[in-house]
Amino acid sequence: MIRKLWSELVKGLTLENPLMVLMIGLCSALAVSTRAENTIFMGLAATFVLVSSNFIISLIKKVTPNEIRIPIFIVVIASFVTIVDLVLRAYFPVVYSRLGVWIPLIVVNCIILGRAEAFASKRGVLESIADGLGMGLGYIWILFTMGFVRELLGTGKIVFFDRTILSFGPSFEPPVIFILFPGAFLTFGLLMAFVNFVNRRIKK
């Protein structure tokens, strides 16, 4: 049982990574990965919604009529997104103002509805929580890696909570393209090539 749960969790990090392999939830990943600090909050918010909605949806799967399952999933997901939105606004206003529209937009993040439909609506509660957590962590590590690379190359330094933790120094002229949209695609493509290369090795 534990091994089963573990494998459901680990698959989200590598072989079934939502961003790199399933290729869902890309919009938000490309948009918020301009700063490493942002990606952590965005990732945590999405993970919270993912785990909670997977939990509730697997819990009520027996009383969910098949015909209206999608509206029910949406209601559950939207509720959790609104909770995250309100809590961030009340307790982390600075973070909220920086992530702005991307927090409410978690509701249309395909990872969450996708996991509800493909996994949580068919499996047990514990497995669904493990799946949600794995997918969430898979989302976080890719987002963070992208944010780290883009911020470091695009601005020449990494800033966490107004403190510079890593810097190329003033002589480095940062290629601004990395924090613009083309940089998002470049970073994403290269990272995807790398992750899929490693995945292929694992499978062999």
Q: Which residues lie near other proteins (CB under 8 A)?
A: 34-35, 60, 63-65, 67-68, 71-72, 75-76, 78-79, 82-83, 86-87, 89-91, 93, 97, 100, 154-155, 174, 176, 179-180
Q: How far is the CB of 67 from other proteins (least distance, A)?
A: 6
Q: How far is the CB of 101 from other proteins (least distance, A)?
A: 8
Collect all residues with Cβ–Cβ distance below 8 Å to 140 and sequence separation of at least 6: 39, 40, 43, 44, 47
Q: How far is the CB of 82 from other proteins (least distance, A)?
A: 6
C-alpha distances in Å from residue 52, one per residue of 12, 78, 79, 129, 154: 16, 11, 10, 8, 35
Nearer CB in complex with other proteins: 33/109: 33
Q: How far is the CB of 43 from other proteins (least distance, A)?
A: 19
Nearer CB in complex with other proteins: 87/198: 87
DSSP class of 21? T
CB atoms within 10 A of CB 89: 13
Nearer CB in complex with other proteins: 1/90: 90
Nearer CB in complex with other proteins: 134/147: 147
Q: How far is the CB of 63 from other proteins (least distance, A)?
A: 8
Q: Tokens standing for 144?
A: 């963070």
Taking a C-beta distance cutoff of 8 angstroms, is the pair 141, 13 a contact?
A: yes
Collect all residues with Cβ–Cβ distance below 8 Å to 169 and sequence separation of at least 6: 156
Q: How far is the CB of 58 from other proteins (least distance, A)?
A: 15
Nearer CB in complex with other proteins: 12/154: 154
Nearer CB in complex with other proteins: 9/45: 45
Taking a C-beta distance cutoff of 8 angstroms, is the pair 120, 132 a contact?
A: yes
Distance CA 16, CA 115 (A): 11
